[in-house]
Amino acid sequence: MRFMDKLKRIQEAHNTLLCVGLDPELDFLPEGFERSHRGVLDFNRAVIDATSDLVCAYKLNFAFYEAMGADGFNLLQSTLELIPTGVVTIADAKRGDIPNTSRMYAKAIFEVLGFDSVTVNPYMGLDSMMPFFGYHEKGVWVLCRTSNSGGADIQLLEVDDTPLYQLVASMVTRDNYAADVGLVVGATAPDELEQVRRIAPKHPLLIPGIGAQGGDLVAAVGASRSGPVVINVSRSIIHGPVDGIRARAEKLWSEINALRAGYP
């Protein structure tokens, strides 16, 4: 099945645009969880059990796993095994290198670990992303306008009067590839989000930045009016008492769906 078909199916089945970010930190594990890789796996299981019917995707940011050393790689694998079939998985690894190295990154993430999709960094150009784009049934999210304030240092630079993030959006969406290609645009940049939607009205957007980063939920949901959107929330759901995880996720699920219901 194509990646976009899998995403559409689960978004319809769970009536949701919500993606929970599984970004576990030993220092933020709630009471009752051992501060070890075993405790992290138990925590990830608790998050997944509490939210799996509310989400379309889980995003695992590799930084939080790599920081645990060899145990972290095993944790990526064992966490993936906990995610119910049908729910999309996102490897937030922000990869990209010369083509033969990118081929190994793509192999590790898609074939060894078995993720459905990956985030890639476009800074090294189209040939650095092609090995990811070559996979049928996988998704690739290209960083376009990131949610951090420093993203503006580079992404808003203009080339012939066009900001770089817009050139990236045009470059990666003008052709069709074996994989389904989407763009990462932070909810903290609502104006640019609108511009990206104008350039790529039908392409999927992965939108982080809601909650802890103060992004604009109205703008994020608004982007779903023309094409698919996945809204990621990590800390605002997974930090805090474990028995509040479902309530925090449900609140966002409801807010997102209330906004969607308001559209004609």
Ligand X SMILES: O=c1ccn([C@@H]2O[C@H](COP(=O)(O)O)[C@@H](O)[C@H]2O)c(=O)[nH]1
What are the phi and psi torsion angles at 143 (to 5°)? -60, 130
SS3 48: helix
Q: Which SS3 state, helix, strand or coil, does residue 25 take?
A: coil
CA dihedral 257, 149, 163, 191 (to 10 degrees): 30
- Nearer of residues 93 and 106 to ligand X, judged by Cβ: 93
Q: Closest approach of Cβ 136 to ligand X, in Å?
A: 25
DSSP 53: T
From the CB of 156, what's the least distance to ligand X, in Å?
Answer: 14
- Least CB distance from residue 238 to ligand X, whole Å? 8
Provide the pairing of β-strand 229-233 with 18-21: parallel
Nearest to 237 by CA among 14, 92, 43, 7: 43
Which residues are near ligand X by CB under 6 A? 21, 23, 61, 92, 146-147, 184, 186, 208-209, 211-213, 232-235
Asked if 156 and 165 count as a contact pair (C-beta separation under 8 A), the reply is yes
Q: Which of 6, 8, 59, 94 is catalytic?
A: 94
CB of 148 to ligand X, least distance (A): 6
Tokens 């976009």 belong to residue: 4
Q: Which is nearer to ligand X, 13 or 154 (CB)?
A: 154
Directed axis angle between helix 245-261 and helix 37-51, to 10°?
40
Q: State yes or no: is 94 an active-site residue.
A: yes
Closest to ligand X by CB, 23 vs 216, is: 23
- Catalytic residues, by residue number, are 94
